[in-house]
Amino acid sequence: MNKIKFPPTLNELLIEFADLPDWDERYELLIDLGKQLPPIPDEFETDENLVRGCMSNVWLVAEFTDAPARRINVKADSDSLIIKGLIVVLMAIFNGRTPEEIVTTDETKVFGQLGLDRHLSPQRRNGLFAMVKRIKQLAMERIAGALGPKTPDPAS
């Protein structure tokens, strides 16, 4: 983990994971990344921000910038170090992207490159996809909000 800075870019993660010969070392890297994840403020640890479908507690929020372009930054925390490491992976995939880019991102390709598709337990994999679903939901809500109110259909 000494090779990459925190937070790592997606490219840095892909290179670092590729350099590790076995899953045990990759698992340790995820734990190391989780140890570096800064906690979110206590006021974000609400039921509304709790990710459904995770066995561990995961609170996830998205901050959006409007200038120069609408971009998302995910902030999350968990009571599990391995899940915190997975949060760092998701941040590398999604942070700094527009809501439109987020909803069209194929995160499964990245999960395959990192070996997460083969080596995570079914419960952790379900939790990982629950976090992805929440991030994409927040992006969709942002897109819908940016489009403004719908005009009534005159035919109705």
Phi-psi region of 101 (alpha: psi -120 to 50; beta: other; left: phi over 0): alpha
Cis peptide bond prior to 122, omega within 30° of 0: no
Choose, from 30, 51, 54, 83, the residue flagged as catalytic.
54
CA distance 106 to 111: 9
DSSP 73: E
Neighbouring-strand partners of residue 11: none
Give, in order, the Cα–Cα distances in Å from 116 to each of 4, 11, 13, 33, 45: 19, 16, 12, 15, 26
Neighbouring-strand partners of residue 74: 62
Q: Is 33 a catalytic residue?
A: no
| Catalytic residue list | 54
